[in-house]
Chain A
Amino acid sequence: MIPALRYLGQAAAYALFAAFIGYFAAAPAYTYRPPDMAEIKLSFSHGGQRKGGCRPLSAEEIAKLPPNMRRTQACPRERVPVLVEMEADGRLLYRDLLPPSGLASDGPSRAYRRFALAPGAHRLELRLRDSERASGFDYQRIIDVELRPRQNLVVDFRPEAGGFVVR
């Protein structure tokens, strides 16, 4: 092949490769979530109450403990699972019984869920049970929200703040 043609061929090959790299480095666009939708993220990390509750120790039991480890109550390590429900506009979006984490089931229960909702006004009803009660809930909250397109509304749970919080 004539040298000039070879160099021309090389230039064409480089140009094609550059075009290939340059194009696919940022195109075609990918739509992760439609721009006319909003999202609610329900996420928390919360430990249920101890299973069985605490029992007062007798004086003999306390005396048997090493002096630096004496306590007045014996509490079981295992925690109860956390029951959580979320409704939007009367429709149940999520209900789950979240087991405690950890090998001894003594860690917090964790939730991380995403829900797509159309923008606009919505009524969220949030309920959570973290005790051994058989029915009903320990925490409940109704929140009216006005979702904007692409809004990411976070629903967290913080007992120290009174229960469900919206961020």
Chain B
Amino acid sequence: MQPIKRPLRLAFAVAERAFDRIFGAAWNPFYNLGALGFFYYWIVTVSGIYLYVGFDTGVERVYASIERLTYAQWYLGGVMRSLHRYASDALVVMMLTHLLREFAMDRLRGVRWLSWLTGVPVIWLVYASGVTGYWLVWDQLAQYIAIVSTEWLDSLPIFGEPIARNFLAPNSLDDRFFTLLIFLHIAVPLILLFILWLHLQRITRPKINPPRGLVIGTTAMLLVLSLAHPAVSQAPADLAKVPSVLQFDWFYLTGYPLFDLMSYRWVWALAGALTLMFAALPWLPPLRRAKARAAAVNLAYCNGCGRCAADCPYAAITMVPRDDGAAFSHQASVNPSLCVSCGICMAACPPSMPFRRVAELATGIDLPDPLLPRLRDETHRATKALAGRPRVLVYGCDRAIDLAALAGPGVGTVGLPCVGALPPSFIDYVLSRGLADGVFIAGCPDGACVNRLGIRWTEARNAGERDPRLRPRVPRERIGSFWAARHEKRALAGALAAFRARIAALPPAAEPPPRRVGVPETVP
């Protein structure tokens, strides 16, 4: 899979950075694919309710009722119809792009398996919703879809009377057929909504509403498209005639030409094989390296504040009643099957401070191979080796940044499982102790954090907007950050060089005071 994923990842990274420049990270559509999908779903729902009011389920009247909406009431019914169609098409684009992006970024294994697996029926249900919608129009395209779809269903040996016999001749259909069809067209999207709820179960703060800028832009785009190029029906269905040249909606009917290229049973086999392959992808080779062990709670330092639970991107931490007799009402509890070992919880925990003078630096929640003491040790090691001016310490995400390429005489580096795993007190520690003249944080592109929320929490903590906050005394001008995709080595190096130049213009930081590490001390 890597030969497919790597170029895909690069293509997405390039496109995302281009859109970053145009839309900004917050409005970048690539970072809001799922949310845009939801938004289109709601447009389809609202416009669908309006169309349903004017829809007549009589075989002879169904086509006329839609024509009436389209032409006699073009300013509302026609616009609603166009919005219904184009938002449905845009939904397919968002869904497939979202699927490709998650695949390219390997966001389908580990705790993400449930989201991936539930995404598979979502694809089927979106297509089923669209196909039943086209059927309702009862024009030539609907007739074609009706005939081919029912013949495809009939090729399964599970139906008694062939369903396709309902479309043999003009008098084969009765009015109840469209009543059944509209029931399906409403029921399938409702089931889809339920599956989407399952789809989001394992992640906290899922983005289901796009930012206002995207809402306004997307709505305006759909309205202009609906007015400039309204959705219209083709000639009315006539079962006495064979459908011939059809204006295809390729977003929903991409697979239909296959019915003319191979037998129906082969199409079933192909669809089944693809579905199985997609569903099995989280467990197919190359298997991810052995799963990192889950974070563990150290009750000696946990006061049940709940910050770790609030910051966990995968709802792996819950607050449960205290069970060790300590004078706190709650304690953190980790569900190992949901933990991705990102370390964000450790950074959120108040005792995660490098200033503490204890023999063994520990905190309320940390990875099994404790990240907090390792981070302090590596900070000391990296800053000790710094030479010349300005001295800059880079904290970088191991998943996104090639730290070795940044290191040099004046630049020390410390790797993190995620930038969100850096407690803000470390920046204070480095600058107040004069270990370096500046601290530079580098991670995944904003909106594309491998572990989710790492950049968001880092920025909020450093801006003093979220606990644990970076203390006001820390000189902000000595802090820099850059969010880069792995291929953007030159841009990252440039940002670091610019930061160093800025720091060089500042007076040198104070020399580090003498300190004793690893020896129990009394806090002055």
Q: Point out residues on A near B: beta carbons under 8 Å.
A: 1, 6, 9-10, 13-15, 17-18, 20-22, 24-35, 37-39, 41, 43, 45, 101, 107, 110, 112, 150-152, 154, 156, 167
Which of these, B24, B89, B151, B243, contacts A33 with CB under 8 Å?
B243
Closest 5 CB pairs of A and B: A9-B22, A26-B247, A14-B221, A35-B244, A30-B248
Structural contact, A14 and B220, CB atoms closer than 8 A: yes
Q: Closest approach, in angstroms, between the C-beta of A136 and any C-beta of chain B?
A: 28
Structural contact, A10 and B23, CB atoms closer than 8 A: yes
Which of these, A10, A22, A38, A152, contacts B217 with CB under 8 Å?
A10
Q: A6-B24, A22-B225, A112-B151 are in contact. List 8 more A-B contacts (CB 8 A).
A: A6-B21, A24-B89, A24-B249, A25-B89, A26-B247, A30-B246, A32-B243, A37-B242
Which of B159-167, B328-336, B438-446 touches A?
Answer: B159-167
**Given A10-B217, A18-B221: A29 in contact with B241 (beta carbons within 8 A):** no
**Given A18-B221, A25-B86: A112 in contact with B244 (beta carbons within 8 A):** no
Cβ of B113 under 8 Å from chain A: no
Q: Closest approach, in angstroms, between the C-beta of B261 and any C-beta of chain A?
A: 12
Structural contact, A28 and B161, CB atoms closer than 8 A: no
Q: Could you show 5 A-B contacts with beta carbons less than 8 Å apart?
A: A17-B93, A28-B248, A33-B243, A34-B244, A45-B162
The CA-CA distance from A17 to B15 in the complex, in Å, is 14
Structural contact, A32 and B246, CB atoms closer than 8 A: yes
Structural contact, B151 and A151, CB atoms closer than 8 A: no
Cβ of B251 under 8 Å from chain A: yes
Cβ of B224 under 8 Å from chain A: yes
The CA-CA distance from A152 to B251 in the complex, in Å, is 28
Q: Closest residue of chain A to B165, judged by CB?
A: A43
Q: Which B residues lie within 8 Å of A112 (CB)?
A: 151, 154, 162, 164-165
Structural contact, B93 and A21, CB atoms closer than 8 A: yes
Structural contact, A1 and B244, CB atoms closer than 8 A: no
Q: Which A residues lie within 8 Å of B241 (CB)?
A: 150-152
Q: Which A residues lie within 8 Å of B85 (CB)?
A: 25
Q: Which A residues lie within 8 Å of B164 (CB)?
A: 43, 112
Cβ of B19 under 8 Å from chain A: yes
The CA-CA distance from A34 to B244 in the complex, in Å, is 6
Q: Which A residues lie within 8 Å of B169 (CB)?
A: 152, 154, 167
Within 8 A of A (CB), among B18-59: 19, 21-24, 27, 29
The CA-CA distance from A74 to B144 in the complex, in Å, is 47
Q: Which B residues lie within 8 Å of A28 (CB)?
A: 248
Cβ of B180 under 8 Å from chain A: no
